[in-house]
Chains A and B, each alone.
Chain A
């Protein structure tokens, strides 16, 4: 067999290029091209930045962007924070029992099913309001706070949190369990109490995982479509919904506008890549230590 070492890696990468890189880059390029107003199919062939200007000029873009950023930032932050806190307390306990299997349940469900569960539970005619009524805490259906289809996106947020806290727990728990025996005892013999251990050892050691979890969750929540579609209000719309609605609108002439919007959403995600790459390195060196 011919041992052409130079060509071999490229040969190995061939299927990757054909099945993955080409479609991916082709779709990014076609998005980019269309966003600059080049769509020969409908007679547009002049390079222009107008569509970006249009996007940036529209008020709905800003309200959606702000809404999505705030929503996903808060949800991810709460998910990671709660996840860490719960994992820390769970790691204190001796035996795990069933809890790990139970925590895995929400991860099994797709996000839109989680959204439906939250709807069943917290909508105005949901379980929570029925229980409150039966305890006499509310008199009629309108008294139950509007948590679903609300303009603050509470329902969306709760649904993200419900699904993502277990994910964070299961991600952080093994690390905590691992350092608990060794590093905890080391800290204790140096005079640290439980809170000092939490604050000065456990948290910093988990910091890279925590940040990378936050980034992963944020990127997902930010561009998510299903959950806000099911639980969101008509205003403000999550940015994913905005893009979707504009994409499926019958007017093909609005396509460049959609793509400009899309490119901006993509760019948001792209910025996170750099943070992530930097973090991965840090995590790797740290894990070598544990």
Chain B
């Protein structure tokens, strides 16, 4: 039963993906033909030699790196404050942290764009990075919070007994013990930022072109071969990133925070 199911699942998942790979090497294939007359490498050649594509990858990586870096720097003190201190606004802060999980992405994107318009920081890399922080940060905080919680308050009490103050405690006791969590949360915010379409498109105003923006454009105008090739390019890049995360971290831990 379990074996049979595995085969079905594998087929259901692999066939569409392989079919897309197949299409990226196919030029024209009128219905109802199943097999093309020859292999077509034009789109791949075009993709590899395209300066626009390389630039887009560059922009994507820059945007996502900045987002990940700022997210970590912001999330670390936040998670520390939430888990290791008592203060009266805690429930409110916690509520705000997880708000973006529940605001449908369309509203969040439109709302942020109109706010950024008012503030006059659209159409720039900085604007895009700042806007990405909002959907990415909750994941980062969530992961770090879990890590702090795991180490627990006893950790901090012990540290205090040894005479450390709160900042020393963070840098000397906690930080060295949360490499994994830091790495995971950085990659998480990187990935979420990396596949952000609507927000980038709106706040970037079409000037800041990241991979999803480009891919979406191609999806609206291009043919199947182009879309397939560009999608694969995107997937491969994303896969490299997640591979790196998975290599260093536990499975379930990641799963909880992905989608």
Q: In the complex they form, do A and B come into direct contact, defined as C-beta atoms under 8 angstroms apart?
A: yes
- Which residues in A have some Cβ–Cβ distance to B below 8 Å? 1, 3, 5-6, 8-10, 12-16, 19-21, 23-28, 30-31, 34, 86, 89-90, 92-93, 97-100, 102-110, 112-113, 116-118, 120-121, 125, 127, 129-131, 133-134, 141, 162, 164, 166-167, 170-171, 174, 216-217, 219-220, 222-226, 230, 239-240, 243-244, 247, 255, 258-259, 262-263, 265-266, 268-270, 272-273, 276
Distance in Å: Cβ of A267 to nearest Cβ of chain B? 9
Sample of 11 further A-B pairs with CB below 8 A, known A102-B14, A107-B259, A220-B259: A3-B165, A16-B93, A24-B99, A27-B115, A30-B115, A99-B6, A107-B258, A112-B219, A120-B23, A134-B34, A222-B104
Q: Using Cβ atoms and an 8 Å threshold, which residues of chain B touch A247?
A: 110
Which of chain B's residues has its CB closest to A268's CB? B104
> Does B115 contact A265, Cβ atoms closer than 8 Å?
no
> Does A129 contact B31, Cβ atoms closer than 8 Å?
yes
With contact pairs A28-B111, A120-B23 given, residues A89 and B2 touching in the complex (Cβ less than 8 Å): yes
Scoring A9, A102, A116, A223 by chain B CB atoms within 10 A of each residue's CB, the highest score goes to A9
With contact pairs A1-B167, A112-B216 given, residues A224 and B106 touching in the complex (Cβ less than 8 Å): yes
Distance in Å: Cβ of A237 to nearest Cβ of chain B? 12
Determine which of A9, A25, A108 lies in contact with B239 in the assembled complex, contact meaning CB atoms within 8 Å: A108
Q: A23–B248 Cα gap in the complex (Å)?
A: 33
With contact pairs A171-B256, A265-B104, A276-B102 given, residues A86 and B78 touching in the complex (Cβ less than 8 Å): no
Total A-B residue pairs with C-beta atoms closer than 8 Å?
A: 249
Q: List 15 A-B contacts (CB under 8 A).
A: A3-B165, A12-B77, A14-B77, A21-B93, A23-B112, A89-B1, A93-B6, A220-B105, A220-B259, A239-B106, A243-B107, A255-B114, A263-B107, A272-B102, A273-B98
In chain B, positions 13-56 with a C-beta closer than 8 Å to chain A are: 13-17, 19-20, 23, 31-34
> Does B20 contact A116, Cβ atoms closer than 8 Å?
yes
> Does B81 contact A12, Cβ atoms closer than 8 Å?
yes
With contact pairs A1-B165, A93-B2 given, residues A19 and B70 touching in the complex (Cβ less than 8 Å): yes
> Does A8 contact B85, Cβ atoms closer than 8 Å?
yes
Which of chain A's residues has its CB closest to B33's CB? A130
Let me know if B249 is at the binding interface, CB within 8 A.
Answer: no
> Does B255 contact A19, Cβ atoms closer than 8 Å?
no
With contact pairs A9-B85, A113-B234, A219-B101 given, residues A243 and B112 touching in the complex (Cβ less than 8 Å): no
Stretch in contact with the other chain, from B57-65, B130-138, B151-159, B171-179: B130-138
Q: A107–B227 Cα gap in the complex (Å)?
A: 19
Q: Using Cβ atoms and an 8 Å threshold, which residues of chain A touch B256?
A: 171
Let me know if B182 is at the binding interface, CB within 8 A.
Answer: no
> Does A19 contact B110, Cβ atoms closer than 8 Å?
no
Q: Using Cβ atoms and an 8 Å threshold, which residues of chain A touch B2?
A: 89-90, 92-93
Let me know if B96 is at the binding interface, CB within 8 A.
Answer: yes
With contact pairs A20-B74, A112-B215, A120-B16 given, residues A27 and B252 touching in the complex (Cβ less than 8 Å): no
With contact pairs A12-B80, A113-B231 given, residues A121 and B110 touching in the complex (Cβ less than 8 Å): no
> Does B32 contact A129, Cβ atoms closer than 8 Å?
yes
Distance in Å: Cβ of A170 to nearest Cβ of chain B? 5
Q: Mark B232-259, 1 if CB is under 8 A from A, else 0.
A: 0011001100100010000110011011
Q: A164–B102 Cα gap in the complex (Å)?
A: 17
Sorting the interface of chain B by its residue count into under 10, 10 to 19, 20 to 34 or 35 or more gives 35 or more
Which of chain B's residues has its CB closest to A134's CB? B34
Which of chain B's residues has its CB closest to A96's CB? B6
> Does B32 contact A110, Cβ atoms closer than 8 Å?
no
> Does B31 contact A26, Cβ atoms closer than 8 Å?
no
Q: Using Cβ atoms and an 8 Å threshold, which residues of chain B touch A24?
A: 96, 99-100, 112, 134
Let me know if B197 is at the binding interface, CB within 8 A.
Answer: yes
Distance in Å: Cβ of B221 to nearest Cβ of chain A? 13
With contact pairs A8-B85, A244-B106 given, residues A92 and B1 touching in the complex (Cβ less than 8 Å): yes
> Does B10 contact A99, Cβ atoms closer than 8 Å?
yes
> Does B103 contact A223, Cβ atoms closer than 8 Å?
yes
Distance in Å: Cβ of B210 to nearest Cβ of chain A? 12
> Does B32 contact A15, Cβ atoms closer than 8 Å?
no
Distance in Å: Cβ of B32 to nearest Cβ of chain A? 4
Q: Using Cβ atoms and an 8 Å threshold, which residues of chain B touch A174?
A: 251-252
With contact pairs A113-B231, A223-B103 given, residues A102 and B13 touching in the complex (Cβ less than 8 Å): yes
> Does B93 contact A13, Cβ atoms closer than 8 Å?
yes
> Does B110 contact A167, Cβ atoms closer than 8 Å?
no
Q: A211–B16 Cα gap in the complex (Å)?
A: 29
> Does A23 contact B134, Cβ atoms closer than 8 Å?
yes
> Does B107 contact A13, Cβ atoms closer than 8 Å?
no
Determine which of A98, A100, A219, A226 lies in contact with B216 in the assembled complex, contact meaning CB atoms within 8 Å: A226
In chain B, positions 161-212 with a C-beta closer than 8 Å to chain A are: 165-167, 195, 197-198, 212
